[in-house]
Amino acid sequence: MNEQLKELRVLAEDISVLYVEDNLLLRQNVEQLLQKLFTNVFVAEDGLEGYQIFTQHKPKLVITDINMPKMNGLTMAKKITLEELSTKIIYITAYDDKEYLFQAIKAGVFRYLPKPAKVNQLVDALFDAVKLIRYEENKHLYDNQLKDIFNYQLNFRI
């Protein structure tokens, strides 16, 4: 796990993360872990505040509870994915009802972890999410470079 943490720190260097949790003690503990792994960590205590922070900072990764005051995590996630489809959303929730899982899938869940989440489960989810974010960024760059090459060749012939 130590090697995975080192690799995660390197991969997550400029990736920002938003953590939304209404339980103060849990929020503080997970925030400490996230600050060891990510440079930019934003924290909110409910879905409404979380969505406001998201719209301002556009983090690529969101970790959220489902049942929270003002706006639940499912509603927040739906609003987020309408703005940024590529945002990875990890739910950490005490709800194991299939209906919540189905709603989470509709809202664009990346991973669904039971509460209380074990540190290794959370680290695995973060690692997988960050790897996917990096892959998608690299693919986007590659696609753009390929497009530029083809456009250059087409313009060169004319």
- Quote the CA–CA distance of 45 and 73 in Å, as a whole number: 11
Residues 6+ apart with CB under 8 A from 6: none
pLDDT at residue number 115: 79
First CA to last CA across the chain, in angstroms?
56
Eight-state DSSP code of residue 152:
H
Encoded tokens for 87: 């945002």
**What is the structure's pLDDT at 94?**
75
pLDDT of residue 84: 85
pLDDT at 44: 94
- Is the domain spanning 2-157 CATH 3.40.50.2300? The answer is yes
- Identify the pLDDT of residue 89: 92
- pLDDT value of residue 92: 85
Q: What is the pLDDT of residue 130?
A: 85
**CA atoms of 65 and 93, how far apart (whole Å):** 5
Please report the pLDDT score of residue 49 as a whole number.
Answer: 95
105 is written with which tokens? Answer: 């899938």
Beta strands across the sheet bearing 109-114 = 40-44, 16-20, 61-64, 88-93, 109-114
Coil vs helix vs strand at 22: coil
Closest CA to 75 of 112, 44, 45, 50: 50
Non-local (6+) Cβ contacts of 53 within 8 A are 18, 42, 44
Looking at the whole model, is its pTM more than 0.85? no
pLDDT of residue 109: 78
Phi, psi of 141 (to 5 degrees): -60, -45
Q: pLDDT at position 30, please?
A: 87
Q: Return all residues near 48 (Cβ < 8 A) that are at least 6 apart.
A: 70, 71, 76
Query: Which residues of the chain carry a pLDDT beneath 50?
Result: none
> Rounded to 5 degrees, what are φ and ψ at 39?
-75, -45
- What is the pLDDT at residue 119? 79
